[in-house]
């Protein structure tokens, strides 16, 4: 009971002691009525706290489950020289359902206006850039427009690579919008 509730109860008891029988009964009835009202208010306050806590928990769950986006490539034109590549790295700090999605397009350069697009784990990227064959999560063969849509669900480092390594003489100008979207997890850029 709150202090002001106790004070009200003590005042009523003093009034009861000072009154006659009829007045005492009336005062007791008022005291009982006041206690019932106070009890209902306390119950109402408890219910309000429970509702507030439930709303907070629901908000926290929805924030945790809400998809989180990170633009890993967002360019209207980047030049990639012959025998070079562009690397767009990101990190997943814990395993979660994530999707890498978007489009890469060659705007100019070379006879075929083409590049390769790959999604690699950190270790595979290290091996790939030293000339080894690796199992990529995604390989977009040499083409002008590449649409990426692939899952990345393990903890660790990832690299979206736009490669012009195969071209001996021609540089390429590339544009792209590629995003990683995760449920309840904020991916972060490595660079």
Sheet bearing 85-92, strands edge to edge:
138-143, 115-121, 156-163, 85-92, 188-189
**Together in a domain, 184 and 104:** yes
Neighbours of 178 (CB within 10 A): 23
**Together in a domain, 38 and 113:** no
**Together in a domain, 81 and 162:** yes
**Together in a domain, 17 and 33:** yes
Show the domain range for 162.
67-189
**Together in a domain, 91 and 183:** yes
**pLDDT for the residue numbered 189:** 74
- The stretch 108-130 carries a mean pLDDT of 94
pLDDT tens profile 62-76: 555 567 888 999 999
CATH number of the domain enclosing 124: 2.60.120.680
Q: How many domains, in total, are found in the chain? A: 2
Res 19 pLDDT > 60 = no
**65 versus 178: which is more confidently predicted?**
178
pLDDT tens profile 83-98: 999 999 999 887 788 9
pTM metric for this prediction: 0.66
């Amino acid at each position: 009971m709150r202090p002001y509730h106790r004070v009200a109860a003590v005042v009523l008891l003093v009034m009861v002691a000072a009154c006659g029988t009829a007045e005492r009964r009336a005062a007791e009835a008022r005291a009982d009525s006041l206690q019932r009202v106070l009890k209902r208010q306390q119950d109402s306050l408890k219910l309000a706290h429970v509702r507030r806590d439930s709303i907070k928990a629901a908000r926290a769950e929805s924030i945790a489950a809400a998809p989180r986006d990170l633009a890993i490539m967002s360019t209207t034109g980047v030049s990639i020289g012959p025998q070079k590549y562009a690397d767009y790295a990101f990190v997943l700090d814990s395993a979660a359902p994530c999707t890498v999605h978007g489009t890469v397009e060659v705007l100019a350069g070379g006879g075929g206006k083409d590049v390769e697009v790959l999604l690699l784990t950190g270790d595979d990227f290290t091996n790939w850039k030293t000339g080894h064959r690796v199992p990529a999560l995604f390989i977009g063969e040499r083409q002008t427009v590449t649409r990426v849509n692939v899952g990345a669900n393990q903890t660790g480092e990832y690299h979206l690579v736009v490669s012009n390594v195969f071209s001996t003489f021609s540089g390429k100008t590339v544009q792209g919008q590629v995003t990683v979207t995760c449920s309840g997890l904020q991916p972060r850029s490595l660079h």
